[in-house]
Structure 1
Amino acid sequence: MSDPALVTLRGASFAYEDGPTVLKDLDFDIREGRALALLGRNGSGKTTLMRLLSGGLRPRTGQLALAGQPVSYDRRGLTRLRTTVQLVLQDPDDQLFAASVAQDVSFGPLNLGLPDTEVRSRVGEALAALDITDLADRPTHLLSYGQRKRAAIAGAVALRPRVLILDEPTAGLDPDGQERLLVTLASLRESGTTVVMATHDVDLALRWADDAALLTPSGAHTGPVAAMLARTDLLERAGLRLPWGVAATRLLRAHGLPTGSAAGPRTAEELALLVPPAASPVTVTGAD
């Protein structure tokens, strides 16, 4: 892949105090402009990796860099990192704390010492981007789960990060809520934000991402999403199943049917366009 690596981890290892090593000698890249799905079994280190990338944790060994420049973990270095990379946790209640949505979204820009006019501008933009402008004055404890998810993401977007890392953003949402969130993420990508999504949903990853990173005991394996999610050896080591889209592509090709793109169908709608309509049922009547 020729896209430049905006965020890089090299030789990173991490272990929690009095615990086993979670990640060891890990190399990992976030490439600007690419939608990246991060996948792996529970306990594989996804959350630890996301916290390392966003500055919530510091690697015991190895180095984190932004645009090729090593990150320093002093106030200036962490401010630079956190205005470039923002992490949104899976449970929005772990991030929301202010009385109203607008107050919560304004916290990050205020913490940067921005003038009030700039803060108001950023809050307005973030609320509009997440389609929750009408919730600006709503108490956060009165929001639905999906609204709280959007409010938490808006708080990160208000900092205008170049990279937005989302931990299981669709978990707990109904199908309509998932679709609305995916539309929002597409809009953020169009505006220049690079999005990384941690998920267990291989079908969602195949549909949404450009690239996939599979965390296995031997490290992170990254490449184009269709190719990575067809690697049954890596999927097994990562504790994941084969996506239905990959299975459908194999079935179509086994029967000599066209698969559209080289990657095959990535959504049910794409599959429906490839499969010819079923023949009209034949009515069989008894003999006179």
Structure 2
Amino acid sequence: MSESAGAAGSVLVALRGVSFGYEEGPEVITGLDFEVREGRALALLGRNGSGKTTLMRLLSGGLRPHTGTLTVDGAPVTYDRKGLTRLRTTVQLVVQDPDDQLFAASVGQDVSFGPLNLGLPDAEVRSRVGEALAALDIAGLADRPTHLLSYGQRKRAAIAGAVAMRPRVLILDEPTAGLDPDGQERLLATLDGLRAGGTTVVMATHDVDLALRWSDDAALLTPDGVRTGPAAGTLARTDLLRRAGLRLPWGVAAAGLLRARGLLAESAPGPRTAEELAALAE
């Protein structure tokens, strides 16, 4: 089951009454209702084995629910070629390890794979590849062999391949994992650019501090379901965090301390970054 706080934005993709389990195993997800709303940055959080990867693959069509329905713009998805093509031009999933996604000889060839599979004219494919490479700030790597890329470059190339499909929803599994601080900041700036261009971004992460800083909404995967709501309020719920196997974000703890000492009004938002905390201290 799911508990939602009614975030703004129309529902782009939704799971309705969905259950799923792997062969010869128990159900991982049971009776789930879950929505991705347009224009909202959504963070998925939960302990290992909580079902984050399963949920992402259900949303992107990589897995088919045993019961229930996946919808796009309110219409049920069909799992034939036509239905899956429609879904994959709406939703793209980028997995955690870029080496599981990159396979072509060069970056440009890899990014062009999806648009070519849509049967688009060559000029349209070139346009999409160029736009995607520019959006990820790797235009200069178009001819670079993928095996010669750094880890951060491979992450960006994998995301560019998804962006070239011009999805309305981009789902990223631990996109900042393995990146140094500068690489994380550059990637987050890139995601901000994609959001400004109209892409709705969903990010699975273990990092509660990142989720508080980056997301509009947070979805916590707990043993008794998914709890979704505005990030600041949801990530301050110690009961939900405990059930999800997560700690309290430092920004929430800092806000509590500031309020207790009369340095922050009860109605004022707490700091989400170190810079915001420093500004409050001035």
Give the structure-1-normalised TM-score.
0.95
Larger radius of gyration: 1
* Distance in structure 1 (CA, Å) of the matches to 2:265 and 2:158: 39
Deviation, 1:21, is 1.0
1:127-147 alpha-carbon deviations (Å, 9 max, x no partner): 000000000000000000000
1:202 aligns with 2:212: no
Of the three residues 217, 225, 232, the one matched with 1:226 is: 232
Number of residue pairs matched by the alignment: 276
* Distance in structure 1 (CA, Å) of the matches to 2:265 and 2:121: 54
Deviation, 1:261, is 6.8
Change (3 A) 1:261 1:111: farther
Of the three residues 6, 30, 48, the one matched with 1:42 is: 48
Of the three residues 77, 87, 106, the one matched with 1:81 is: 87
Aligned twin of 1:16: 22
Deviation, 1:2, is 3.2
Equivalent pair of 2:89/2:166 in contact (CA under 8 Å): yes
Residues 202-281 of structure 1 aligned to structure 2 (within 5 Å): 202-258=208-264, 262-276=268-282
Of the three residues 139, 142, 152, the one matched with 1:146 is: 152
* Structure 1 gap segments, 5+ residues each: 277-288
Aligned residue for 2:115, secondary structure, equals helix
Aligned twin of 2:68: 62
Deviation, 1:262, is 2.9
* Distance in structure 2 (CA, Å) of the matches to 1:217 and 1:71: 27
Deviation, 1:19, is 1.3
* Structure 2 gap segments, 5+ residues each: 1-6
Aligned twin of 2:124: 118
Aligned Cα root-mean-square deviation (Å):
1.0
Percent identity between the two aligned chains: 81
Of the three residues 181, 191, 199, the one matched with 1:185 is: 191
Deviation, 1:9, is 0.4
Aligned twin of 2:104: 98
* Distance in structure 2 (CA, Å) of the matches to 1:237 and 1:262: 27
Give the structure-2-normalised TM-score.
0.97
Deviation, 1:258, is 2.1
* Distance in structure 1 (CA, Å) of the matches to 2:55 and 2:261: 41
Q: Partner letter of residue 14 of structure 1? A: F
